[in-house]
């Protein structure tokens, strides 16, 4: 297949309120990739494009790409640059799995697309290695893990809360034993079960028994991550329990506090508040923005190089690239 015949339809289903995802089509004339955020159809030729377009919701956020633009989109897609959590890595595995399923059906289109898909995997890996390998994630969980550093492996980490924020942070608290405490113990058990599905061997303990059991955990934990708002009735006791540890190393990361913290937390030297975490993210955001822009530009350059020839791995000349980029 010539690159000029490559077409892609991209439906951002997650962005369309009330829109219904198109029914899965297993026909031989399209390679479909479904994720929780979108559906992507890879096709050859305008006739197949028109037929596939009719099966996507008319009110959906539908985009169409052709030729080098289609290939550039696929490289961005495989690199996680189209994802909500930009530069996430899971999407690459989803694309590979979808391709294996499509290839196993023996579709004629699969044989035509195969050289381009192999180049896609090669180019996506190259862009990630060159531009995204050290980018890191901007999620709460990744930042908490970065703040804890080696301390996360030096003793138990106590996680207070079991809501959405705690659920997002918990998978990142790897290393030593994780202790879970929530006022409603069943919520903590639910979170423990979810973590067990990811890693059955992971040591997770649910703290039960009310405030006194929680305070005992504060005294015994190496680190504490708080994912609930400040509580005037409990905070003084929590800080006192933490101070009872004496000079032992450890950190308290409180994701329910603002920039300056609040009494009695403000005098705790080991404390990192949500406001401080925001400051860290802001400091990283400009560097991150530049890296992502370079990665997106690299995806476009890969597509332009492929348009010069499927086996091209280096530019014929910068003049060539500029000419293609102006088309």
Specify the CATH number for the domain of residue 321. Answer: 3.30.460.30
Q: Quick count: other Cβ atoms within 10 Å of Cβ 249?
A: 11
In a domain, 144, yes or no: yes
Residue 36: what are its φ and ψ, rounded to 5°? -70, -15
Q: CA-to-CA distance for 9 and 78, rounded, in angstroms?
A: 15
| 280 in a structural domain | no
pLDDT above 90: residue 66: yes
> Per DSSP, which regions of the chain are E strands?
6-11, 31-34, 39-44, 62-66, 157-160, 178-181, 204-206, 223-226, 252-254, 271-273
On the question of pLDDT at 181 being above 80, the answer is yes
Cβ atoms within 10 A of the Cβ of 89, count?
A: 13
Phi, psi dihedrals of residue 162, rounded to the nearest 5°: -145, 20
Are 116 and 149 within one domain?
Answer: no
Rounded to whole angstroms, the Cα distance separating 169 from 162 reads 10
Q: With respect to residue 215, please indicate whether it lies within any of the assigned structural domains.
A: yes
Cα(224)–Cα(249) distance, rounded to whole angstroms? 12
Instruction: Give the Cα separation of 63 and 68 in Å (integer).
Output: 15
Is 86 found in the same domain as 8?
A: yes
What is the per-residue pLDDT for 36?
Answer: 67
Same domain, 79 and 118: yes
pLDDT at 323: 38
Query: Are residues 206 and 155 both part of a single domain?
Result: yes
Q: Which residues contact 294 (CB under 8 A, 6 or more apart)?
A: 131
Same domain, 291 and 201: no
More confident residue, 37 or 162: 162
Same domain, 159 and 108: no
For residue 12, name the pLDDT band (cuts at 50, 70, 90). Answer: confident
Confidence of residue 21 (pLDDT cuts 50, 70, 90): very low
What single DSSP character describes residue 128?
I
- In this structure, are 118 and 181 located in the same domain? no
In a domain, 11, yes or no: yes
What percentage of the chain has pLDDT greater than the value 70? 82
What pLDDT is recorded for position 189? 96
pLDDT digits (tens, 9 = 90+) for 275-298: 777 676 666 677 778 888 999 999
Query: Is 78 in the same domain as 107?
Result: yes
Q: Please tell me the total count of domains within the chain.
A: 2
Q: Which domain CATH number covers 227?
A: 3.40.50.720
Query: Nearest Cα to 113, choosing from 16, 48, 35?
Result: 48
Give residue 27's pLDDT: 56
Burial classification of residue 193, based on how many CB atoms lie within 10 Å of its CB (0-12 exposed, 13-18 middle, 19 or more buried): exposed
Instruction: For residue 21, tell me if it sits in a domain.
Output: yes
Per the structure, the complete domain to which residue 80 belongs is given by: 3-133+287-325
249 and 299 housed in the same domain: no
Residues 148 and 122 in one domain: no
Q: What is the pLDDT of residue 61?
A: 77
Calculate the CA dihedral of residues 286, 272, 188, 175 and round it to 10 degrees. Answer: 80
- The mean of the pLDDT values for the chain is 83
Cβ-contact 253, 147 below 8 angstroms: yes
At 247 the three-state DSSP class reads coil
**pLDDT digit string (tens) for 92-141?**
988 999 999 999 999 999 999 999 999 999 999 999 999 887 665 556 78
The answer to whether the CB of 131 falls within 8 A of the CB of 295 is yes
Residue 320 has pLDDT above 70, yes or no: no
Do 144 and 227 contact (CB within 8 A), yes or no?
no
Confidence of residue 18 (pLDDT cuts 50, 70, 90): very low
Residue 150 and residue 113 share a domain:
no
Q: From CA 143, how far away is CA 165, in angstroms rounded?
A: 13
What six digits make up the tokens of 79?
Answer: 């690199």
- Is residue 112 reached through a cis peptide bond, with omega within 30 degrees of 0 on the bond before it? no
6-11 and 62-66 strand pairing: antiparallel
| Residue 236, in any domain of the structure | yes
**Stretch among 1-15, 48-62, 263-277, 306-320 having the lowest mean pLDDT:** 306-320
Q: Does residue 259 contact residue 275 with C-beta atoms inside 8 Å?
A: yes
pLDDT bin (cut points 50, 70, 90) of residue 311 is: low
**Within-domain flag for 277:** no
Domain identity same for 159 and 191? yes
């Amino acid at each position: 297949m010539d690159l000029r015949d490559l077409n892609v339809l991209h439906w951002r289903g997650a962005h369309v309120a009330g829109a219904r995802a198109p029914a899965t089509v297993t026909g031989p004339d399209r390679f479909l990739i479904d994720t929780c955020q979108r559906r992507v159809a890879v096709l050859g030729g305008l006739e197949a494009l028109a037929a596939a377009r009719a099966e996507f919701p008319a009110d959906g956020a539908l985009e169409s790409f052709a030729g080098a633009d289609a290939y550039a989109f696929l490289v961005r897609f495989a690199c996680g640059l189209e994802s909500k959590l930009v530069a996430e890595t899971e999407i690459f595995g989803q694309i590979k799995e979808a391709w294996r399923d499509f290839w196993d059906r023996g579709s004629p289109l699969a044989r035509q697309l195969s050289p381009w898909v192999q180049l896609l995997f090669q180019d996506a890996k190259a862009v990630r290695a060159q531009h995204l390998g050290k980018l890191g994630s901007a999620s709460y969980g990744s930042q908490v893990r970065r703040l804890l550093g080696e301390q996360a492996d030096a003793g138990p980490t106590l996680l207070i809360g079991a809501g959405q924020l705690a659920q997002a942070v918990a998978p990142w608290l790897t290393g030593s034993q994780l202790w879970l405490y929530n006022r409603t113990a069943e919520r903590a058990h639910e979170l423990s079960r979810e973590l067990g599905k990811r890693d059955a061997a992971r040591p997770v303990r649910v703290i039960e028994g009310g405030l006194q059991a929680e305070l005992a955990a504060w005294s015994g934990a190496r680190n504490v991550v708080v994912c609930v708002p400040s509580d005037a009735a409990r905070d003084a006791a929590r800080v006192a329990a933490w101070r009872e540890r004496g000079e032992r190393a450890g950190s308290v990361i409180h994701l329910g506090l603002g920039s300056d913290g609040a009494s009695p937390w403000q005098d705790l030297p080991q404390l990192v508040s949500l406001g401080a975490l925001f400051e860290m993210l802001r400091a990283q955001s400009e560097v991150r923005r530049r890296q992502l822009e370079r990665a997106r530009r690299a995806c476009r350059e890969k597509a332009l190089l492929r348009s010069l020839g499927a086996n091209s791995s280096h530019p014929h000349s910068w003049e060539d690239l500029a000419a293609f980029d102006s088309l």
